[in-house]
Structure 1
Amino acid sequence: MPMLSVSIVIPAWNEQDRIVDCLTNATRQSVAPHEVIVVDNRSSDDTCRIVEGFMAENPEAPVRLLHQDSEQGLIPTRNYGFNHATGDVLGRVDADCMLKPDWVEVVAGLFTDDPAAMGATGPVTYYDMPAKHMAFRGDDRVRRSTYRADGGQVLLFGSNMAVRTSAWKVIAGQVCRDPDDVMHEDIDISLHLLDNDMKTVYSRKMICAISARRMDTSLISFRNYMKRFRNTFAAHPDHWRRHKTERALISLYPGLRLLYPVYQKYLDLLDVNPAERIWLGEQIELAEREGEDPD
């Protein structure tokens, strides 16, 4: 059976600081993505110019830049990208996410080997915090044990998820628009997949590195963000959950809130770009296998 193709959709709003690192990781893969689509949503910084520069410097990379200007928001921007993608599988990550170099290969394999799988997700680690291996193990444990609905159905995580294109076409007109911006759009997609008896899966091998910048917010702001869990399930009363993941996240917040700015100063002192270095070893190994210069 031929391997399914994977499109990667990256919604972007004012992401000039990390978009090149994101694109570098998305395109430097053991199996090439079918396409990498950056969907700009009214950015007022240099995001678009930087993406265009990346495309000019890397003409062999399958990167496309689209513009969703009709309305501000992650959901319409995500939907626009999904609707314009042409791969068999739709990967979805944030513009500050760094995909492990075998991410496309793992995702393609998941959906190819399991025709019933309609959505997939995996664990993350934090590239701009210390103890990355410990963070990965903790995140993996939390997602396998608590990030579930209806007694055990897998919930997708927006920074590291993929949906089969045929499944998206079924739920595209059903997903919530959330004009008040009070829900988790990834959980919303998950619940709509479950509404249609579509299988969601979790793979420990589907790994993405993300920023911990969410911790660099006030406690009130963080608590309001955590309320999105409750709001999303309230909007879908036919679904339920046994564990409240936000409780674990809130308990971790005080320590991470103190550590994050201190560690950023440490990285600045060393002049280290953590997003560039997170998968450096794997990227060098991949380049050596392919006989290329890893830069």
Structure 2
Amino acid sequence: MTLSARNPQLDSTAPVQRLCIAVPMLNEEKLVLQTLEALAAQEYRAFSVVVVDNGSTDDSCGIVARFAAAHPWLDVRLVHDPEKGTGAAADTGMRFGVDHGAQWLARTDADCLPEPTWTARIVQAFGDGLELIAGQLIPRDDEGITAWERRTMLLAVEVASFFGRIRPGNKGEGYLGPYQMLPGCNMAITAEMYTRSGGFPRSRIEDLHEDRALSNRVRKLTRNYALRRDVVVHGSSRRVKAWGLKNTLAWYADHRYRPDHVDIR
């Protein structure tokens, strides 16, 4: 059942703003409020937020509902998707935006902090003609990892982005441009391109990196995609704390490290 956290009586067919932000969520009662506060602090405010609960058993949904009630000027919707997976939840949020009239779609996660200029920079990038935007992901500095670990993570992202362009799995017939690493928690795409490309695969993160799959789908349809370093989100580093830096990097490199439990909270 789809509800509006802002007003549970609101018709679920009510249109969203031109920019619609999908926020997948699973048991994020510790961090989701900070994410919502960061969205409420955006300089450009003409957007809707669709929080997609992926089966939370904690107070995550209650936090979203209470936040929305306290911020009636911000259009927050809360939807529920029982199909396990970041790809599934992200796709549900994006398609909610498409189905409710959004022109542009963006995604961050319920453990992330978009900078105040995030939505403004996204809108500017769309105005420049981009159909898919990859943002700059920076590790949060409030989770107990060292400055050295944060710097190493940033360097690892740059290295991974370079090698992604020569990785055999990202090469082949039909691509119109080079591979672009796409942080799932800091990206944006036009609604038209999301529909044409097929969107995020409805997958679990244990099985497939849905952001990589979407990037490769889009590359077969357009050259109008790029990294925008001024589109900034601060992402959680709790996997580094739980697994260590080496194992975390191996996890993101084709799941070369496979822990028994991936939903770190």
User: Under a length normalisation based on structure 2, what TM-score does the superposition of the two structures give?
Assistant: 0.74
Higher helix share: 1
- Matched to 1:206, the amino acid is V
Deviation at 1:7, TM superposition (A): 1.3
Contact 1:27 1:33 in 2 (8 A): no
Match among 189, 205, 214 for residue 163 of structure 1:
189
Q: CA–CA distance in 1 between the matches of 2:61 and 2:33?
A: 11
Structure 2 residue identity aligned to 1:212: S
Q: Distance in 1 between matches of 2:49 and 2:158?
A: 30
Whole-angstrom CA distance in 2 between matches of 1:74 and 1:121: 18
Correspondence 1:60 to 2:86: no
Match among 86, 95, 119 for residue 74 of structure 1: 86
Name the counterpart of 1:47: 60
Shift of 1:144: 6.1
Cα distance in 1 for residues equivalent to 2:126 and 2:147? 31
Q: Return the letter of the residue paired with 2:225.
A: T
What SS does structure 1 have at the residue aligned with 2:126? helix
Q: Percent identity?
A: 26
Root mean square deviation of aligned Cα: 2.9
1:32, distance to aligned residue in structure 2 (A) = 0.7
Larger radius of gyration: 1
Give unmatched runs, 5+ long, in structure 1.
231-245, 247-295
Asked if 1:172 corresponds to 2:194, the answer is no
In the superposition, relative to structure 1, how do residues 143 and 34 fare at CA in structure 2: closer, same or farther (>3 Å)?
farther
Q: Which of 3, 9, 22 is the equivalent residue of 1:9?
A: 22
Contact 1:7 1:33 in 2 (8 A): no
Q: Is the 8 A contact 2:29 2:60 kept in 1?
A: yes
> Cα distance 1:74–1:134, how it changes in 2: closer, same or farther (>3 A)?
closer
Q: Alpha-carbon deviation of 1:75?
A: 1.4
TM-superposition CA deviations, 1:66-94 (whole Å, max 9, x none):
1112x221111111111111322111111
Code of the residue aligned with 1:74 in structure 2: it is T
TM-superposed deviation, 1:123 = 1.5
Deviations 1:148-188 (A, max 9, x none): 45473322111211111100111227x53446832111001
Counterpart of 1:19 in structure 2 is: 32
Structure 2 stretches lacking a partner, 5+ long: 1-16, 172-176, 258-265
Paired residues of 1:15 and 1:95 also in contact (CA < 8 A): yes
Higher relative contact order (CA 8 A, sep 6+): 2
The answer to whether residue 108 in structure 2 is matched with residue 96 in structure 1 is no
> In terms of mean alpha carbon deviation, does 75-84 or 130-139 score higher?
130-139
Equivalent residue in structure 2 for 1:153, among 153, 157, 179:
179
Structure 1 counterpart of 2:122, one-letter code: V
Identify the range of structure 1 (183-192 vs 196-205) with the bigger mean alpha-carbon deviation: 196-205
2:229 to 198, 204, 209: 204
1:182 to 2:179 alignment? no
* 2:133–2:189 contact (8 Å) kept in structure 1: yes
Does structure 1 retain, via aligned residues, the 8 Å contact 2:51–2:78? Answer: yes
* Residues 62 and 79 of structure 1, relative CA distance in 2, 3 Å threshold: same
1:104-119 equivalence runs, <5 A = 104-114=119-129, 117-119=130-132
User: Distance between the aligned counterparts of 1:111 and 1:45, measured in 2?
Assistant: 37
TM-score, normalised via structure 1 length: 0.67
d(CA) in 1 for partners of 2:188, 2:112? 14
Cross-structure match for 1:264: none
